[in-house]
Amino acid sequence: MRLSPQQFWRIRENQYRLFITVCGSCGRKAILKRPVCPYCGSDRVHHVESSGLGVLESFTKVYYRRNSSEDDLPKFIGVVRLTEGVRVVGEIVGVGADELREGMEVEAVLRRYASDDPYGVIYYGIKFKPV
């Protein structure tokens, strides 16, 4: 799904930085800035910015071609457990298939996601690379 520039502008805060919602009622943490706790529904939440450091727990190769050229396939999508204890799914970049392994340390980086066309809006977001 392609977002309009206006939609992307509204979600940009969670798109460019990794925030964690910490619940003041149940104490659980969740990825992204959320107005309420996704576990107990409490609005007694506060937000902290993640260090961006974590461990790759699992990954898969993706061969589906949507908005990318064939040169950047396959892509690697992984589940990263951040040092703050929450998991996030993201693309793993800067590593070859033979180097990728579960348990490797990764860090969040801002990278290009896609662009509308050669002269259109360029979308950036968080991906992960090996430390």
Q: Confirm or reject binding of residue 11 to Zn ion (CB under 5 A).
A: no
Complex with Zn ion: residue 86 or 126, whichever CB lies closer:
86
Contacts of 115 (CB under 8 A, 6+ apart): 121, 122, 123
- Selected from 7, 11, 12, 26, the binder of Zn ion by CB under 5 A is 26
Complex with Zn ion: residue 22 or 53, whichever CB lies closer:
22
Kind of pairing between the strands at 105-115 and 122-130: antiparallel
- Selected from 18, 23, 86, 104, the binder of Zn ion by CB under 5 A is 23
Rounded least distance, CB 33 to Zn ion, Å: 15
Measured between alpha carbons, how far is residue 110 from residues 7, 13, 38, 45, 83 in Å? 19, 12, 26, 26, 18
Rounded least distance, CB 86 to Zn ion, Å: 13
Contact region with Zn ion (CB under 5 A), list: 39-47, 64-72, 87-95, 110-118: 39-47
Q: Confirm or reject binding of residue 40 to Zn ion (CB under 5 A).
A: yes
Cα torsion angle, 38, 40, 46, 48, sign: negative
Separation CA 10–CA 81 (nearest Å): 26
- Residues of this chain that interact with Zn ion (CB under 5 A) are 23, 25-26, 37, 39-40, 42
